[in-house]
Amino acid sequence: MRKLPATFVCFCAGAWAAGMAPALEWVKTLGGSGASMVIGAAVDAGGNLYIAGHTTSIDFPSAVHVSAAASPGSDVFAVKLDADGNVVYATRFGGSGDDTASAMAVGQDGSVYVAGATMSADLPVTPVAYLKTKPGPPGAAASFLLKLNPDGSLGWSTYFTDFRSSVESIAVDAAGNVYAGGTSAGSLPTTPGAYQPQFQQSEICTGFIGCIPGPTSAFVSEFNAQGSGLVYSTYVPMDGSKNLVQAAQALLVDSQGRAWFGGQGNVVEMSADGSALLTSAAQPGIAISALAMDSDGNVYATGTAQLSYNTGSPKSIFPATPGAFQSAPQPPAPVLPLQMPPGGLGDAFVIKWDAGLSKILAATLLGGELGDAGESIHIDPAGYVLVSGQTDSRAFPTRAPFQTSFSARSGFVAGLSADLTQLLFSTYLGDERPFDARAAVPDGKGNVLLAGATLGAGSLFIGGDPGQAFVTGGLVAANKIALPPAPPVRLDSVLHFASRMAAPLAPGEPVMAAGSGFRPDAQLLVDGAPLAGVTGTSGSLVAEMPEDAKTSGSYVIQVASGGQLSNPVFVPAAATSPGIYSTDGTGYGQGYILNSDGTLNSPEHPAAPGSAITIFAAGVGQYTRDHGYAVTALAPSVFVDGFYANGIAAVSGPVAGFPGNVYQLGVYVPDPATLADKNPNLLNFKFPPQVGVRLVMGPVNSSNPDNSAMISQGGLVLNVK
């Protein structure tokens, strides 16, 4: 596949102030023979970028300062890049066992602080360490903290807790005191006068299943600047309203030395001495991964919002505020059996509380049809909100992007107005390798610095989510993006016209370019060449890809209008990119499907099991004609409610109201009851009134057709008798 110009995380977004188009300044990639994961990044006042994580590469970049010898397992790493992307230092830290990072922070002087977990009993702890010996039994993990001096040398390092507690977040105040937050099942070192010095979440015992561990407790601990002792350390098992507080997954410290942390549905403010819980807010259904605070003391959070649904229609429990950029899961497709509901059960989100955590000032979702997660959040000096993370969605909202999605999992970075009503810019990140945009940070000079890593595949997803669970790291990448003024012609999305998804471009596929500033003379350019037959409005253009278009690599898509060129958008090319038409043109809901009698399928005109239907689709790739029938290069397979539908024949030609040639595929509606001799569970089987229809081109995933590589969008309805 043709690589994107900036390796794999290059991006140009839309507008920090709704009037800019970012330009890539530099890209830096770091790797080795093993796998690396990024857990965080930060920027200092000089525009230097700091990245931390862990790696199994013994040849992870040549280090200027090495604080421990490379081990065969995983070690912690830290890298400092200057404002031009040059490596100032790269260092690793570890012992003879596996050592992993979980959180990082950067002090005002450029010192780097990292927390994590270790299996090593021989970490290079410093002489004044709080705890010099690994706590807990042999073979069990323990937590640690370390400080790197501004030149990358080791300032101090210490063990902290045994396996029953884990550090998940870290922050540093102006005096260099370090704050650690996390989750504990007991044995946390606590201090006199702490808010809660005793672990209270005891095990739960019943006469039926015996005893099981009780809920964990969040904790916050403050170390002195030398790493030699605790200023305070306390459990935080409940908030001010007696809601369980089980983890401190995100942590910040304000100018008064008060720690704020967030986790599973809670945000909590602690007093500067750790003796009191000052304020708290509870919001069910959210998992907070990052916090930020603006100049007025308002608190922002991002993470993943869990979504719940009523049968037949999506309904989110997320507390979106009036005027929010996205108030509900998108697109609002019907909830169908055996298909993931809109949002994939989780969208990224941003919530803004007032300084007292007494009121939600603004809240919005940010996501598409599958799972999305926010992982970092920062507030620009002008008050704009910068969020990054990962997405499996092809309908993730974009504005003046640099690229569409190239993988089953992509990174994203987005800018929102302070009141969370406007999307200022948003783009996918990554190439054909899965990618996680772990952190995006404004440098205070109008630029965005970004760090992340490619991902390796784990087990298959459960349900309708395509692709795989990406659990291991790959290559570390960072870049810097400047934000010059946007052109008057802005390209916001390149979509499959039938599915309305950011899908690859295939031969003959109808494509829609959406944006603004398109005049009557607007042309849609593909690799600099205009497409023929363009129709559209001031906000969208529609055209058809050539029948002989390439089937690999990538395209550069732009709109030319009034002598101006839009921002370029990189889109993958593919042999096929199937999408099924809907009756209302949204790409979801009632499918444009004809019954055997020629009527349009609908609740009033359902199809009977065993009867013939005709599906109207596009993006099936190259085909030949044989006695009037369309024979595709890759075999089509239709699934109705997860059951394979036997094919009849296909034709292709113009259809009123649709662009280009429309692929019309005839199949029989499956009748699962006829398969009862092979599967007794299907005896007397009846379809629900509405079921999902999917079209797969080429290889079908035998364990789950929805995980097939080239599959049409979900949310398309067939009505069945």
Residue 173 clears pLDDT 70, i.e. is over it: yes
Using H for helix, E for strand and C for coil, what is the string for 520-580? CCCEEEECCEECCCCEECCCEEEEECCCCCCCCCEEEEEEEECCEECCCEEEEECCCCCEE
Q: Looking at residue 63, what is its pLDDT?
A: 53
Contact 307, 341 (CB under 8 A): yes
Q: How would you classify the pairing of strands 716-719 and 589-590?
A: parallel
Residue 76 clears pLDDT 60, i.e. is over it: yes
Residue 308 clears pLDDT 80, i.e. is over it: no
Residue 18 clears pLDDT 70, i.e. is over it: no
Contact 548, 659 (CB under 8 A): no
Contact 218, 186 (CB under 8 A): no
Residue 211 clears pLDDT 70, i.e. is over it: no
For 92-106, 126-140, 209-223, which range has the lowest pLDDT when averaged over its residues? 209-223
Number of neighbouring beta carbons within 10 Å of residue 35: 20
Q: Looking at residue 71, what is its pLDDT?
A: 57
Q: Among candidates 115, 228, 107, which has minimal Cα distance to 170?
A: 115
What token pair was written down for 367? Answer: 């996501």
Please give the radius of gyration of the chain, using alpha carbons only, rounded to the nearest integer: 27
Q: What is the mean pLDDT of residues 94-103?
A: 94
d(CA 398, CA 377): 17
Q: Average pLDDT over the chain, rounded to whole?
A: 89
Beta strands in 239-331 (DSSP E): 250-253, 259-262, 264-270, 277-293, 299-306, 308-310, 313-315
Q: What is the pLDDT of residues 608-649, one digit of tens each?
A: 999 999 999 999 999 999 999 999 999 999 999 999 999 999
What token pair was written down for 719? Answer: 């009505």
Q: Among candidates 202, 251, 265, which has minimal Cα distance to 223?
A: 251
Q: What is the pLDDT of residues 616-627, one digit of tens each?
A: 999 999 999 999
Helices (runs of H) and strands (runs of E) counted in the chain? 0, 52
Contacts for 529 with CB less than 8 Å, ≥ 6 apart: none
Under the banding of pLDDT at 50, 70 and 90, the label for residue 402 is confident
Q: Exposed, middle or buried: residue 706 (CB in 10 Å: 0-12, 13-18, 19+)?
A: buried
Domain spanning 490-572: CATH superfamily: Immunoglobulins (2.60.40.10)
Under the banding of pLDDT at 50, 70 and 90, the label for residue 59 is confident
Per-residue DSSP letter, 332: -
Q: Looking at residue 545, what is its pLDDT?
A: 96
Q: Looking at residue 651, what is its pLDDT?
A: 97
Residue with tokens 């069990």: 140
Residue 3 clears pLDDT 60, i.e. is over it: no
Under the banding of pLDDT at 50, 70 and 90, the label for residue 25 is confident
Q: What is the pLDDT of residues 562-591, one digit of tens each?
A: 999 999 999 999 999 999 999 999 999 999
Residue 469 clears pLDDT 70, i.e. is over it: no
Contact 89, 65 (CB under 8 A): yes
Q: What is the pLDDT of residues 473-490, one digit of tens each?
A: 788 888 887 766 677 999
Residue 14 clears pLDDT 50, i.e. is over it: no
d(CA 81, CA 606): 62
What token pair was written down for 360? Answer: 């939600």
Residue 215 clears pLDDT 60, i.e. is over it: yes
Residue 437 clears pLDDT 60, i.e. is over it: yes
Domain ranges of the chain: 1-30+294-485, 34-163, 490-572, 579-719
d(CA 668, CA 689): 17
Question: DSSP states of 609-622 as a string?
Answer: TT-EEEEEEE----
Q: What is the mean pLDDT of residues 311-333?
A: 83
Q: What is the mean pLDDT of residues 306-330?
A: 79
Q: What is the mean pLDDT of residues 685-689?
A: 94
Residue with tokens 């739960």: 204
Q: Looking at residue 313, what is its pLDDT?
A: 53
Classify 358 as helix, strand or coil: coil
Q: Looking at residue 341, what is its pLDDT?
A: 85
Q: What is the mean pLDDT of residues 263-272?
A: 95
Question: What element of type H or E holds 89?
Answer: strand 87-93
Q: What are phi and psi for residue 601, nearest 5 degrees?
A: -55, 135
Q: What is the mean pLDDT of residues 240-247?
A: 91
Q: What is the mean pLDDT of residues 654-672?
A: 95
Q: What is the pLDDT of residues 334-382, one digit of tens each?
A: 989 888 888 887 999 999 999 999 999 999 999 999 999 999 999 988 8
